[in-house]
Each structure stands twice: as C-alpha cells, then as structure tokens.
C-alpha cells in the first residue's frame, strides 16, 4: 500500500478532519486524523494492520501492545496478522499502566503500535512498561506519523504514511487568537 492509496482511504472514510482541534498531546492543529473512522471498516483495519505486520514479520513478535483507546483495534489486527497476542495499556489517573491481567516477561518480543503518532508520549510510556517487565521491544508501528520532528524511540519506527500537519502549542495557536471554536476529538469527543 502506498501513501496515495492510504490518502484515498482517509478521504473516502472522512477520517481527515479540518477545523481547530485540541490534541491529546495538548497541542493544537487545524487538521485531525480520526483513525476510528477508518478502523470501523474491518476490511480497512485488516489491510492497514497487515501492512504494519509485514514490516516486522522477521522479528518473532509474541505480543503487540498499543495504548487504549485509539490503538486497541490496531493492536488486535496487527497481532492477528502476526499470530501473536494482542494487549494494551491504558491511562488511569494520568499514568499509563498494563492492567486487565495482561503481562509480559523476558520471553516476550513486543511490537508497540499506535494509530497516529504526534509527540510519541504514550508510546514511550508503553516502551518503558514493556522493558520494566523484562520484555524486548522490537519496534514501533503506526498507521500515521504526524510528528513535527523525528522522535527517537530507541528502536525501529515504521509508519504507513508521514503527514506534514502543523501542530501548535496552545499559547501560540493562531486559531485560538482568531477565536475559532475548538474541538477535542477522539475518545473525549462529546456525543452529537
């Protein structure tokens, strides 16, 4: 799958939103990639996640882990394609944790996945959790990298597409200064 094919999927599912957004990283942007609109279609989820899995097929992955909520489907579909376990970490009281009875240890080779990477904070927290539990992190896989500068995860990082979407610190956001209403999409979006 090439970037043009992936952009067609973003467009056909309405996943690339335009407006004024507050991202989970605290940054602001005039565009937002709502991967849930892509992943709600099993054929797209399977296709994209199989592409991520192919990039790590020689790494003998035993578990795939992503942050809840956005990467749960990504973790599951990549793990399915690799014949590995699918686990996830979630944030409780501001701290990323491995819960729900999931565990990893020295015999595990873990691929950490994400739908969209902006700052990489959640991924870095998961890497630390995996390593603290003795697991080997073989790499990071994502559907989209929208980071404004390269992120050093200390391991290989592969994304299906790199999008140059501007991010702004809240205090420097020109959209805020123009008084454009802000939306907080993702799992925190208010029901219509």
Alpha carbon of residue 24 to chain centroid: 12
Angle at 69 between CA 66 and CA 70, to 5 degrees: 70
Largest CA distance in the chain: 53
CATH number of 3-188: 3.40.50.2020
C-alpha 159/C-alpha 180 separation (Å) is: 31
Sheet of 28-33, strands arranged across: 16-22, 28-33, 167-168
C-alpha 3/C-alpha 7 separation (Å) is: 6
C-alpha 143/C-alpha 192 separation (Å) is: 27
C-alpha 137/C-alpha 155 separation (Å) is: 7
For the segment 66-92, what is each residue's pLDDT rounded down to a tens digit? 999 889 999 999 999 999 999 999 999
pLDDT attached to residue 138? 98
For the segment 123-163, what is each residue's pLDDT rounded down to a tens digit? 999 999 999 999 999 999 999 999 988 999 999 999 999 99
Q: If phi over 0 gives left and psi between -120 and 50 gives alpha, with beta otherwise, what is residue 115?
A: alpha
The percent of residues above 70 in pLDDT, for the chain, comes to: 96
């Amino acid at each position: 799958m090439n970037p043009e094919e992936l952009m067609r999927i973003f467009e056909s599912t309405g996943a690339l939103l335009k407006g004024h957004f507050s991202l989970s990283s605290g940054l602001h942007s005039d565009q937002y990639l709502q991967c849930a609109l892509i992943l709600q279609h099993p054929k797209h989820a399977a296709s994209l996640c199989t592409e991520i899995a192919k990039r790590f097929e020689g790494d003998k992955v035993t578990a795939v882990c992503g942050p809840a909520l956005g990467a749960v489907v990504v973790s599951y579909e990549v793990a399915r394609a690799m014949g590995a376990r699918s686990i996830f970490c979630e944030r409780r009281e501001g701290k990323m944790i491995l819960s729900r009875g999931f565990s990893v240890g020295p015999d595990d080779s873990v691929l950490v996945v994400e739908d969209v990477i902006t700052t990489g904070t959640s991924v870095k927290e998961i890497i630390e959790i995996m390593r603290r539990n003795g697991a080997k992190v073989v790499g990071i896989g994502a559907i989209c990298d929208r980071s404004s500068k390269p992120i050093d995860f200390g391991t290989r990082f592969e994304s299906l597409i790199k999008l140059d979407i501007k991010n702004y610190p809240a205090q420097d956001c020109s959209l805020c200064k123009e008084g454009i209403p802000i939306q907080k999409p993702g799992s925190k979006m208010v029901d219509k």
